[in-house]
Structure 1
Amino acid sequence: MKKREEELVVARNRKARHDYHLEDTWEAGLVLMGTEVKALRAGRASLVDGFADLEDGEVWLHQVHIPQYAQGTWTNHTVRRKRKLLLHRTEISRIERRLAEPGLTLVPLSLYFSGGRAKVEIALARGKKTWDKRHALAERQATREVEQAFSRRLKGHRD
């Protein structure tokens, strides 16, 4: 698709997929300052500690690290400021209803440019327990071993 080819991923939160069960995802626009956009275009950002929260009917992104732009002057931005997310009213009300359930949170999954605009993919997530994480790792390793054994068989090697 042409739309996917235009996307330029700046940062991914791989730890979120490991630490949470992801239920629903949304794409949201970001309200940014000029130096933040330039720093993102340079490919520098971190979503590791980030989370989203609802305040007064608006969704805000907290603790996302966008470093200062090197050529920025006194107009440079604060590194970990809270940033407003742009979503439709129906999406915000749906998120608000779901966040009322215990144990759910909003986490950013990826930060990217789509059609020249900065977007963030956020997900409604429920935290995993330690045994869930171990079970997922064991399951992934077992499927990897099965695939390796299958490819060895196809190549004609013995076990």
Structure 2
Amino acid sequence: MADELDPRARRTRGAILAAFTTLALGRRYDAIRVAELIAAAGIGRSTFYEHFRSKDEVLVAAVEPILHTLASAALGRASKAQVRAMLDHVWEQRGVARVLLDGRTGARLARRIAALITARRGASATLPAMAAATAQLTMLRLWLRGEVACPVADLAAHMLACRALLNDPT
């Protein structure tokens, strides 16, 4: 996309993402309104919609590095150290992460991870990609809620083991 190369577009996207992060740290995701996001970013409504279609799209962009790490782990292309670093970051932001992983937001994140996996693997991997993404987010959700306690190193190993779900069953 040409806008990604434009420094003004990068600054505007950065302002929107920074505003989103600030708002998300202070309240529940569902309580954030696009109008508040626009005001916090210091931009106009039309400018917001030139860069994002919705608040949900901003959410996905804000957590994209985490989603890429999870997709890479499912594909067997991430190191245990990379996954551990991502898990440490998620733990530091666990209050926000718990909220984001629930309900339709969690489902949206699972679809994005599956899309990243499928894009790297091919269209025939849609069902296994969704299974791997859902498994990863379920483990993450259980760990963040304290329902299943395990060391970060063990959770990282389980995240990486999701690559088995992508293997051809025949």
Structure with greater proportional helix content:
2
TM-score > 0.5 by shorter chain: no
TM-score interval, normalised by the smaller of the two chains: under 0.3
For CA contacts below 8 A with separation 6 or more, give which structure has more relative contact order. Answer: 1
TM-score of the pair, normalised by structure 2: 0.21
Structure with greater proportional strand content:
1
